[in-house]
A and B are shown apart, each in its own frame.
Chain A
């Protein structure tokens, strides 16, 4: 994952920007930030049961792999993440890591423009750009053109991005990813907002509480709920492909 000698500041979820700045000032502004949510090939730490959210498992496995190279971990543990995020922070503390908890409250909500969520372009790249705004929220120098949506993708960044390759460039982004771009990660109202009439795939990781929202919204708006644990398999790809083609 990283150079042996290098130190990092780890984070997961969407920590408060002010706290992230504060931690960087305290531990070293030059230290690279690493998003622990993202699968990086770290081996199974064995610290969590096998049937658990893959994203939370990534956090714990990545932190166990990096160990002492993590100068600190900024952990989203509030409504902007989930209970399992809070539990992961507790486990990381038990591993001897310096964990700083973040709760993104309404007072710090922002009103950032939805450049990538409503723009045209390959979906995996736009999701990546949105997640990068957690660290650098400055306006992009290469914004995509706006487009009318033909499809919608609702949810969180999947553990396996190959799912996103299936969607046309005119797919709008909804759910928690849109909340991140807006700077409002705990805004349930925004998270549950979709374009009525736009065929939307409601994605959640298996064993994630967001499945309750995904299933409810899929029923309400005539979309499909799709979940995946580790890697996307052919059956899941086929289901999404059929929905996109037939809708």
Chain B
């Protein structure tokens, strides 16, 4: 049985019986009309499933399945948006979903990384940052830095630092943060985030965990 988190850039598909996880680009998902899921979340999954689940609800329920603490905060940094939930006594204390300003920064960092052929594992941790108002404004500043002599790796790291600051502020500046999404695999992002708070990466499958209860 297939369940899926169909994000803006990447689609995570879990075969629930075998436990096999497949990650494909959402670009590829759009082309594959045969793919249909028992339960799905994410914009691109709406018309491809029996049961659709709101992304923020999937994140909240997924984190409760993975984290045993009474009080904790989790943030999911996606390609297009950032979602945040804070629990107190395992009940929702606060949640938010950044859709407008600050959006698309995740997708932008992928584009920048690909354009400048950046290896994020070897990226330097920069003390300086770029104000990443949104993906487009942030990218403009990276281009400006590179054109005035800053090495591309350094400029991209500064963009990443600006993005980390946005995520930290958006999450209410907690002492400890659980992280969900593709940035769990980005060493530079994690190390930069550690400058601000303790961070525990939970990987890319947190929303999938939140879908399991909906399998009928």
Contact = CB atoms under 8 A, between A and B. Distances in A.
Interface of A: 206, 222, 224, 227, 234-236, 238-239, 241-243, 245-247
Interface in B48-70: 54-57, 60
B129 to A, nearest CB: 23
Contacts of B85: 246
Contacts of A224: 94-96
B170 interface: no
Majority DSSP secondary structure for residues of B touching A = mixed
B43 A246 contact: no
A242 B94 contact: no
Contact of A238 (B60, B92, B93, B97): B97
A44 B190 CA distance: 46
B43 A234 contact: yes
B60 A246 contact: yes
A246 B95 contact: yes
Interface string B84-115: 01000000111111011000000000000000
Contact of B56 (A206, A222, A239): A239
Given A222-B93, A222-B94, A235-B81, A245 B57 contact: yes
Given A235-B99, A236-B99, A242 B93 contact: no
Nearest to B98: A239
Interface in B71-86: 81, 85
Contacts of B81: 235
The listed residue with most B CB atoms (<10 A of its CB), out of A227, A234, A246, is A246
A234 B57 CA distance: 15
Given A234-B43, A236-B99, A246 B93 contact: no
Interface in B106-152: none
B99 A242 contact: no
Contacts of A236: 99
Contacts of A239: 56, 96-97, 99
Contacts of B55: 238, 242
A242 B56 contact: yes
Given A224-B96, A235-B81, A235-B99, A242 B54 contact: yes
B99 to A, nearest CB: 5
Interface string B150-174: 0000000000000000000000000
Given A227-B100, A239-B99, A247 B56 contact: no
Give the 9 A-B CB pairs with smallest separation, nearest first. Answer: A242-B56, A239-B97, A235-B99, A246-B92, A242-B54, A242-B57, A238-B54, A222-B94, A241-B54
Nearest to B55: A238
B174 to A, nearest CB: 14
B107 to A, nearest CB: 14
The listed residue with most B CB atoms (<10 A of its CB), out of A206, A239, A242, A245, is A242
A134 B57 CA distance: 39
B56 A238 contact: yes
Contacts of B43: 234-235
A218 to B, nearest CB: 9
Contacts of B92: 246-247
16 contacts: A206-B100, A224-B95, A227-B100, A235-B99, A236-B99, A238-B55, A238-B97, A239-B56, A239-B96, A239-B97, A239-B99, A242-B55, A242-B95, A242-B97, A246-B56, A246-B95
B60 A235 contact: no
A87 B93 CA distance: 40
A118 B134 CA distance: 39
A222 B55 CA distance: 20
A243 B100 contact: no
A246 B97 CA distance: 13
Nearest to A224: B96
Interface in B168-193: none
B100 to A, nearest CB: 7
Contact of B54 (A206, A227, A245, A247): A245
A205 to B, nearest CB: 13
Nearest to B61: A246
Contacts of A238: 54-56, 97
A224 B92 CA distance: 12
A158 to B, nearest CB: 15
Given A236-B99, A241-B54, A243-B56, 13 more contacts: A222-B93, A222-B94, A224-B94, A235-B43, A235-B81, A235-B99, A238-B55, A239-B96, A242-B56, A242-B57, A245-B57, A246-B85, A246-B95
